[in-house]
Structure 1
Amino acid sequence: MWQLSENKDWSHLEHTFEWVRVMQEVPQDARYHAEGNVAVHTQMVLAALQQLPAYRELPPADQELLWAAALLHDVEKYSTTVIEPDGRITSAGHARKGEARARQILYREVPAPFLVREQIAKLVRYHGLPLWIFEKPDPQKALITASLEVNTRLLALLARADALGRICTDQADLLYRLDCFEELCRENNCWGQPRPFATPQARMEYLFKTGSSPDYVPFETPQTPVILMSGLPGAGKDTYIQRHYKQLPVISLDHIRQTMKISPTDKSGNGVVIQAAKEQARIYLREKKSFVWNATNITRQMREQLISLFTTYEAAVTIVYVEVPAAKLLQQNRQREEVVPAAAMERLIGKLEVPTSAEAHELKIAVSS
């Protein structure tokens, strides 16, 4: 069974992990965290979590996963905390940055199994959602989208420990909000499970069309399968394509770049490469011809732009995410014709956003050891 640390004594954690050690340097607003800095709060959250009956009933593997998420949930308050001119202390964006940091730690520093790592990263990303979901413009859609990425039952446990592991005047209100969140999950059939949809197209319609109902089932279905590759340089995307999609035409940004003799570091040139690739994609899409789009596509924003283009032509999009362990990734990168510099590779690892089923009609995960 994977563990972030077998020794869970705080002094050991501080000695072992620099990102734990710096928590004591991060202040918090006394109105919401009268207990003190992030280190004090995190220790209180861990203690509260382990006292929850629902936590104790979990299988040991889930307990370890949730404990790690609690330890990491405020890991990026260190980089986002600001003391405002009026004295308020804020940490806007710490959950989103925390997801990326947790993923890096569990990919490079303390390697975790893929599914464990991604669940921890998403728990960090969404740990505040149960408390604030009713302030979202569309609480139902926010919940259903999150349920496709994170286990809402584990999320509610983490949020409850987060609320109990602090000293504040509104704790009773926070706990009431958590009760309401759990009820909302049950009402929408996504308590501890992804919200089910009748078809992949029904899920896409709901997620990407304003005003759509999660129960609506579109009559027409997409006709043209399109494969969107995703993965860091050197992860093995080309090899995967050769094994599984050899019969399909491939739009390769690397190939177009080489043909045009454009350097990967030429930002304006890369724009030309992408436009050329999109034009070729439009030709295939108009002809209702399946193809593979082969590029890193490691950020959700880049994937969304491409998926929007493909679905405009009624394509059914499958994302294929390819991953290898960090050591193997760096080794395979060195064996590539176009080697990505080490510093650039580190930046890419830091930017990595692993695809989820909330993005496309189908998601395939190809993780090798």
Structure 2
Amino acid sequence: MSEVAAALRLPGPPGWRVDWDALDRELPWVRAMRGCLQDPVFHAEGDVWIHTRMVCEAMVESDAYRAADPERRLRLFAAALLHDVAKPRCTVVEEDGRVRSPGHSPAGALDARVILWRLGLGHAQREPVCGMIRHHQVPYHWASRSDSRRLVIRMAESTPLRELVWLAQADLRGRECEDQAAQLEAVALFGEYADELGCLDGPWPFANDHSRAMFFLRPDRDPSWAAHDDTRFTVTLTSGLPGSGKSRWVAEHAGDQPVIELDAIRRELGVRPAEPQGAVIDVARSRAREHLRRGEPFVWDATNLLRKLRRSLRELCVGYGARVRIVYVEAPAAALPGRNRARPDPVPEAVLERMLRRWEPPDASEAHELLVVDAGAAG
């Protein structure tokens, strides 16, 4: 963490100073914020760089930041510094002259993930930051949503909501807009609502793993319902970047369970990683159904980097009465290229870069059980 704190010039006592000259000089994604337009209705203060400076200063000056331990301070400052990191690539000027940045929150979470991973920030510290960035606009408009309770409960699985409230407050204090007071009130109400739900400082207390898994799969489920666990066997899905160590984990832990390995199917079919993968997926799903129909535990060994893809697999397995476990394996950025090159079929660098731009690690809302494996720098 100390290397990341140094790279971000983490402000701390006694001066609590943000070293903007160093940040601007050393971090290209900070420099990219300069000159990025914002809608003057919501950001009369100026461009994204000016706004980000004001947000970071508001965060560092807050009582919450100064009372926090170093790990929380790092999360809060990183979230403030990176919360609009995707605006330079998302911002458009519409025909009516209005400036908009559609999708910059989820895009920012993706960008921040890669930035912080390459700086050396591990999963446990990095993913809460990405969650805050992804959801940093939610506290402003949560009350207008018909699914507000479900939304807050889902967010709490991956995002520290108390810290999200502090980020949203700094985001508002770091701008010039006419509705600042009303928006600050909305953020305060969001925090109170999350506290009433019991989610302000942690996930919703589901009765058991099956209740949690079914709540996030079935929109009609009440979170208080204690679901009867009628699963009959376990399916393990791996997730992680190529070269992270998924297959090694499978070799060491799967025992005699059948393994559906997408790399092996590619070799069978003569399909390279950079080519369309539809035929590979079709074969894998066909083999999975054979095991599911027989009620056999098995392992699906693949990158599974996208939440949408994991949900599709989870729905398939749960439909046959399976309990789903996701094993997420992560390797440090410095180790991954060498591990990828050592694979029997290395993934081309251009393909790996595209994967990084879409990389969504799983969270606990996606399975009965989530195991996060730190593969370390060795191997």
Compute the TM-score of the two structures, normalised by the length of structure 2: 0.94
Q: Give the structure 1 partner of residue 279 of structure 2.
A: 272
SS of the residue corresponding to residue 264 of structure 1 reads: coil
Q: 2:89 aligns with which of 75, 79, 98?
A: 79
What is the one-letter code of the residue matched to 2:93?
A: I
C-alpha contact 1:222 1:316 (8 A) present in aligned 2? yes
Q: Report what 2:202 is aligned to.
A: 193
Number of residues paired by the alignment? Answer: 366
Counterparts of residues 7-26 of structure 1 (less than 5 Å): 8-26=18-36
Q: CA deviation at 1:217?
A: 1.1
Name the CA distance, whole Å, in 1 between partners of 2:272 and 2:41. 52
Deviates more, 1:338-347 or 1:5-14: 5-14
Structure 2: how far apart are the matches of 1:344 and 1:220? 40
> What is residue 243 of structure 1 aligned with on the other side?
252
Aligned position for 2:330: 323
Q: CA RMSD in A?
A: 1.3
- Residue 364 of structure 1, CA deviation: 0.4
Q: Quick one: distance in 2 between partners of 1:208 and 1:362?
A: 14
Q: 1:229-288 deviations in whole A, cap 9, x for unaligned? A: 111111111110111112211011111221222333331xx2122111111111111111
Distance 1:83 1:17 in 2: 26
Match runs of 1:58-137 below 5 Å: 58-108=68-118, 110-137=119-146
Q: Secondary structure at the match of 2:40?
A: coil
Q: Distance in 2 between matches of 1:82 and 1:293?
A: 41
Q: Tell me the residue number matched to 2:269.
A: 260
8 Å contact 2:139–2:190 — kept in the other structure? yes
Q: CA deviation at 1:318?
A: 0.5
**Paired amino acid for 2:364:** S
Paired with 1:182 and 1:348, the residues of 2 have a C-alpha distance of 35
TM-score, structure 1 normalization? 0.96
- Partner residue, 2:172: 163
Cα distance between partner residues in 2 of 1:186 and 1:122: 18
Structure 1 outlier segments of 4+, above 6 Å = none
Identity of aligned residues (%): 39
Contact 1:234/1:333, CA 8 A, preserved across alignment: yes
1:231 maps to which residue?
A: 240
Shift of 1:168: 0.6
- Counterpart Cα distance in 1 of 2:331 and 2:229: 37
1:141 corresponds, among 150, 154, 161, to 150
Aligned residues of 1:224 and 1:285 also touching (Cα < 8 A): no
Find the partner of 2:314 among 307, 310, 317: 307
Residue number among 40, 53, 60 corresponding to 2:50 in the alignment: 40
Structure 2 counterpart of 1:5:
8
Q: Does 1:172 align with 2:178?
A: no
**Of 208, 220, 228, which residue of structure 2 is paired with 1:219?**
228
- Write the distance in 2 (CA, Å) between the matches of 1:289 and 1:113: 34
The residue identity in structure 2 corresponding to 1:122 is G
| Counterpart contact for 2:210–2:228, Cα < 8 Å | no
